[in-house]
Amino acid sequence: MAARWEFTRGLKDIGNGLYAWLQPDGGWGWSNAGLIRDGEASLLVDTLFDMRLTRDMLRAMEDASGIPAAKIATIVNTHANGDHCHGNGCCPQAEIIASEASAREMAEVPAATLAMFKAAGAKLGPAGVYFADIFAPFDFDDVDERLPTRTFSGTLDLKVGDKAVQLIEVGPAHTGGDVLVHVPGDRTVFTGDVLFIDGTPLMWAGPVRNWIVACEKITAMDVDVIVPGHGPITDKAGVRRVADYLAFVDREARARFEAGLPVRDAALDIALGDFASWGDAERIAVNVDSLYREYRGDGKVTPVIELFALMAEVRDAQRG
């Protein structure tokens, strides 16, 4: 069960050549990653938000597994957010695999864009202050971008030594091209940001039903070790809680949409109840915005700077 591993920073030995790298508190940018090894063969599940963090992780993985960064053969990026791929340049020899949809998204938001927003700070108003605050620990100037060298859609079967590894595309959900990394022989799955455990899920893409179906796919797997994109290693009860949050927000947002409330008013109005204690609860703003887009069916995407401004406002209201 998940309780075998404390949610403390560093490498967790899952067993049989599998490792998880955890980063409390699991909030903005503090993502998890993993290593799958069999003999001299290796596959890295995601990198981290900047090169320094990724180098620290790779040194710990080398100490535990004997596999240096230069010998990691394959990286799988579970999705396009930078906290799961901006460290790709630390493994210059690795093949980088992602879904086709994720590869397109990665090219759209390079680290240089994040560095620009962060440097602008207060010049961008409340959104810039909020952005600079949540991403203060990360160095977006120290990123050697490496985009995917191989893409796929649907599923892709790989071998790491004698281990079978299946990549399963479940996006669009959190982002446009989310991928699960399933190691059936070891009853383990690395989920990327399909799962935020004890933190608020963030729906950049949707539709919400796709995300709930992705959770159902995980609970149907014969697995007992589930490594989320953020938060502690979990079990199927944790997966169901994420699905419960998504269904709850869908119900609450739908009622306010049908009542004619704008996104801002709906985000400020929804009482999160049992979910209020989850980290980064202000993400309700993005989730409502994405759900409203889904309900309207117009595909109109709100500029990200407006979404960060709304999250800043909602965070202030929640703290007040």
* Residue spans per domain, the chain: 2-319
- Is 290's pLDDT higher than 60? yes
Q: Is 319 exposed, middle or buried (0-12, 13-18, 19+ CB in 10 A)?
A: exposed
Q: How confident is the model at residue 1 (pLDDT cuts 50, 70, 90)?
A: very low
Q: What is the pTM of this model?
A: 0.97
Compute the average pLDDT of residues 296-303. Answer: 96
- Residue 250 and residue 290 in contact, taking contact as beta carbons nearer than 8 Å: no
- Is 106's pLDDT higher than 70? yes
**Alpha carbon distance 256, 236 (integer Å):** 31
In this prediction, residue 127 carries a pLDDT of 96
Which CATH superfamily hosts domain 2-319? Ribonuclease Z/Hydroxyacylglutathione hydrolase-like (3.60.15.10)
**Alpha carbon distance 280, 308 (integer Å):** 12
φ/ψ of 19, rounded to 5, equals -135, 150
Compute the average pLDDT of residues 189-210. Answer: 98
| Helices 208-220 and 284-296: angle between axes, nearest 10 degrees | 110
Torsion over CA: 91, 104, 184, 160 (sign): negative
